[in-house]
Amino acid sequence: MFVLIWATLLFPVRGGCANTGASVRRRQDCLNGFCITLSEGEITAEAGLCVVIPCSFTTGYGFTPQHLVWYKCEPSKQRCVDSDVIFHTNKNNKKVQSEFIGRVSLLEPDVSQKNCSIIITDLTESDSGSYQLRVNGIKYGGADGFTFSPRTTVSVKDLIQKPTVMIPPLTEGQQTTLTCTAPGLCSGSGPEITWTWRGTGENDSDITGNITAFNTENPTAVTQRHSSTLTFNSSAEHHGTNVTCKVSFTGDMTTEETVILNVTYVKKVKITGNTRMKEGETLNLTCSVESFPPSLITWTKFSEKNMLNGTEIEMQNNTDTFLQEESGMGTFSISKLTAEDSGQYICTAKHLHNILMEKVDVTVMYIKKKPVITGDTTVEEGDTLNLTCSVESFPPSRITWTKLGSKTNLHNGLDTDLQNDTGTSSLVLPNVTVKHSGQYICTAEHLDTTVTIHADVTVTWFSKILKNSGCEVQSEVLTCVCMSEGFPLPTIKWPLLKNHAEYSVITTVSNHTVNSTVTLTVKDHSNTIVCVSSSNEVGEVQQNITIISSERQEADQRGPSTVLPWAIAVVSFIVNVICIICVMFLWNTRKKVKPNQEDRTYMSLQKRDPLPEYDVIGQSLN
């Protein structure tokens, strides 16, 4: 193991504690049996680090080496002197230059091994120069020494090597340790290692790490590396931040290395975009999830049918879908929205072995072109008018009722029952009358759209015969007048006309009133009652009218006279006398006529002047 370490230090490569350049060849020089092997060419090193001067030697016959002495002097000097001593194996030697004390050591302390390699730590540019070796010992029992003329040239340059920062895989929520190892393989003064964290806003903050020193494969006094560890709990906030390890050596020599942290993490899925749209507009939804590495985004739409089968519809067919694979963002678009596009849309983010989902409800606001009115628009007087206006829309439309010619909403009335803001409104009017007939307007207000529809309401009522209907006879001319009201307009019928060939009927109409006048000739009108009927779609009504003669009407109009009592008395006396005469005449006549002659006389009289016959329901006038 020692041989391996010695070989590593003896022939270092770039990035170690010294650099021998492109060639790492050795050269041996001998004189009088004393030989020395040094590296060929200039040895380059960096300030703040260390340099190894590889060296081995042999001595002449009878010479026993006891101490090694190294000098540093200017190349122009032919021989280094005592004032140039930088290292002496004899600890009691006082000639060693003060600036080299503690900085120079042998790789192999046993001089008998004839390994003269030394390591110089905490280099500065002033350490550049020529280094020469002298061997002191005993020859044939007396003190002796030999100075080797070949020299090794060392050139100390500015420090360019950087620390080595080891970063294990970082996962959010787990404890992590970063390790920063200072460049060089030295046993000199331990460097100061600091950590700097550059986070949001480019602000730097120092982080104290646990500085530890550990040796190489064989823990010797000359082969130590200096490292610092930084332990923390990884989080998403650490992702993308810069961590710098700075190493400060003796003599204000510093070097640093900056690394970017990549923390594996995933945050909550977010969906952005307007989820309340109008029919015909374009829907744009963006699903994103902050994560590292980026997640794969897919869109699906919830379907009860597909969910029963355990599957979902991936939104790629018949839709404008834009997915950025493994970018952590997916945009979903539907143009010319319809009501069927409403529903639940699902964004799925796949991050490594994790599946995250977020749902959003999309609402398409719409309204059909026209509301619909249902209910019977024809209602009988006294019944209840019940109309319902509805319109398919979302959100539900606000529906109001008005009547043509009135600017007042019917919901302000006391006799209405309206349900607004539900897309449906019922207009209920109990105990309707003629005044409720007319045009009713349903108005649906949906967002900034207003649509209307109307219904014409008709209130029907039974026809009725007015009191001023009647019949009058003047000079055998019968005139009957019937006035009837109703809606729809009633039809007046005179049953007596079916038995008469000649008559006239005059009908006039005014609003909801029908006036029918019948004129015909009659001979005898005593005890005559005329039947008249009035009917419409609602029903039929009949009434009997008594005939009044014009003479009676005139008498009624004249009123009582002062001579009336005397006239009545005179007439009564004359009537009584006539009646007595008639009774006596008939008594005498009966004695002369046979019994069957009485029947024939009655029939004869009946044929000459027949009496009228009447029917109560449908009477006729003869």
Q: pLDDT tens, 40-53?
A: 889 999 998 889 99
Q: Is the peptide bond before 109 cis (omega within 30 degrees of 0)?
A: no
Q: Give the pLDDT score at 113.
A: 93
Q: Which long-range contacts (CB under 8 A, 24 or more apart) does 612-617 make?
A: 612/524, 612/527, 612/528, 614/528, 614/529, 615/531, 616/531, 616/544, 617/531, 617/542
CA gap 429, 59 in Å, rounded = 134
Q: Give the pLDDT score at 550.
A: 64
Q: Give the pLDDT score at 355.
A: 93
Over the stretch 347-403, which tens digit does the pLDDT of each residue have? 999 999 999 999 999 999 988 878 899 999 999 889 999 999 999 888 888 898 999
Query: What are the tokens at 618?
Result: 């449908």
Of residues 324 and 352, the one with the higher pLDDT is 352
Over the stretch 18-43, which tens digit does the pLDDT of each residue have? 443 334 578 899 998 899 999 888 99
Of residues 321 and 583, the one with the higher pLDDT is 583
CA gap 71, 75 in Å, rounded = 11
Residue with tokens 């991050």: 351
Average the pLDDT over each of 72-81, 212-221, 374-383, 395-404 and give the range with the smallest value: 212-221
pLDDT at 530 over 60: yes
pLDDT at 604 over 70: no
Q: Which domains does the chain have, with CATH numbers?
A: 2-157 (2.60.40.10), 164-265 (2.60.40.10), 274-366 (2.60.40.10), 371-460 (2.60.40.10), 466-560+588-622 (2.60.40.10)
Contact in structure between 546 and 527 (CB atoms under 8 Å) = no
Average the pLDDT over each of 151-160, 175-184, 248-257, 488-497 and give the range with the smallest value: 488-497
CA-angle at 553, arms to 551 and 558, nearest 5°: 95
- Global pTM? 0.57
pLDDT at 563 over 50: no
For residues 70-96, give the mean pLDDT: 90
For residues 447-466, give the mean pLDDT: 87
CA gap 484, 469 in Å, rounded = 9
Of residues 237 and 597, the one with the higher pLDDT is 237
**Strands, E assignment, 74-174:** 85-88, 104-106, 118-120, 129-139, 142-147, 152-157, 164-166, 170-171
Residue 20, judged by CB atoms within 10 A of its CB (0-12, 13-18, 19+), counts as buried
Q: Give the pLDDT score at 412.
A: 41
CA gap 247, 290 in Å, rounded = 35
CA gap 107, 120 in Å, rounded = 10
Q: Give the pLDDT score at 214.
A: 56
CA gap 591, 173 in Å, rounded = 150
pLDDT at 605 over 50: no
For residues 271-292, give the mean pLDDT: 93
Contact in structure between 374 and 426 (CB atoms under 8 Å) = no
